[in-house]
Every structure is written in structure tokens, then in C-alpha cells.
Amino acid sequence: MENHDITGLLEDWLDGDAAARDALFERMYEQLKRIAIGTLRAQAGQNTFEPTMLLNDALMKLLGGAVPKASSREHFASIVARAMRQVLVDRSRRRLADKRGSGERALSLDEVQHLPAVAPAAMLGFDRVLEELAQLDSRAAEVVQLRVFTGLTIDETAQALGIHPSAVNREWAHARAWLRDRLGDDH
């Protein structure tokens, strides 16, 4: 029933109902905060963000654009997770701009899976490669995003995407192989 309520709130928000948007944020706040905690855990050592600050920045990013066309609780959570990643990437871009002249190098998949204290330039390089993957295979890119940036397990990723864990495993293996090929072994 609650998932139906969330879907209804999403539809009402799409129709311009600000009260539905606020109710949606309130009902999903704890789940979205857990995603923010997982995202920051994956970024340990780099960020001074608190989970609440990251979540608020991501929600503000969503509010600044078109209403997200989410079809379910899981889809909306995935959209918010993507906004969190964008907030972190934007922050990395600002840090790089502050350092003027810093080189940019893509992260290897191994580095990105254990993201302690990743340099902003490397984060931007990996983000660019992940965007390339999204153009080719959006679900594989979403699996990477949820696994790497939000720290979800295979089962949690399956639940967020509404697919079977074996499908997540296949997408994860495919995405890792593609990323390794694209990033090269020398990174």
C-alpha cells in the first residue's frame, strides 16, 4: 500500500502538486538518507559532507530542474542517488577549478570500488566514462552507480531497480568488463 501511496505522490507532483512533493520527501526521507550515508561511505576520506547536507543538496538539484519522471519508490530513490553523485562530481569540479591546471585522469574500476580519498580529477574522469556507459547501456550504468557510489549490495540494487539479483550480477559483470576495457589496465 505504501508503495502505491508513493506512486500516487509522484504522479501528483508531476501534475504540479507541491504538497505531494513535500509529502513524498517526508515519507522517503529515511530511505534517501540511508542512500546518502552509503554514498558518503563510498567516498570516505574525500568529503566533508554530512549525509543530511548531501541529501538536501541533491533534493535542491532536483527541485531546480524538471520534475523527475519516476514510476516507483525505487525509481525515485535511484534518481535521487544519481543527483547525489552529480552533487559530488560538481564539488570535485569546483575543487579542480580552485587548483587551476590540475590534470584529469580517469579512475580505474578497482580504484572506484574502494573510493577512499579519490582525487577530484580522477572522479571527473570516471564520471565521464560512466556517462559513456550510460549512453550505451543505461541499466548497466545505473547498476554501477548504485553499487559504487551508493554502496548498495547486489540484493539492494536489485530491489532499487525492481529486477532479480541474477540480472544485477549480469549487468555488474558486463559493466565492470566494459569499464576495465575503457579505462585500461594501466590506471
Is the Cα torsion angle 21, 24, 30, 32 positive or negative in sign?
A: negative
Structurally, how many domains does the chain consist of?
1
Between CA 30 and CA 28 the distance in angstroms is 6
What pLDDT is attached to residue 131? 86
pLDDT tens-digit series, residues 52-70: 888 888 888 888 877 788 8
What pLDDT is attached to residue 98? 58
What pLDDT is attached to residue 59? 87
Region label for 162, one of left (φ > 0), alpha (ψ between -120 and 50) or beta (otherwise): left
Between CA 38 and CA 58 the distance in angstroms is 14
Is the Cα torsion angle 134, 138, 144, 145 positive or negative in sign?
A: positive
What pLDDT is attached to residue 168? 92
Residues 187 and 129 sit within 8 Å (Cβ to Cβ)? no
Vertex 63, ends 58 and 69: CA angle to 5°? 95
Say if pTM beats, i.e. exceeds, 0.95.
Answer: no
For residue 32, the enclosing domain spans: 2-183
Q: Which of 34, 95, 93, 22 is nearest to 59 (CA)?
A: 22
What pLDDT is attached to residue 4? 55
Contact partners, residue 52, CB within 8 Å, separation at least 6: 33, 36
Q: Which portions of the chain are predicted below pLDDT 50?
A: 1, 101-103, 105-109, 111-118, 186-187
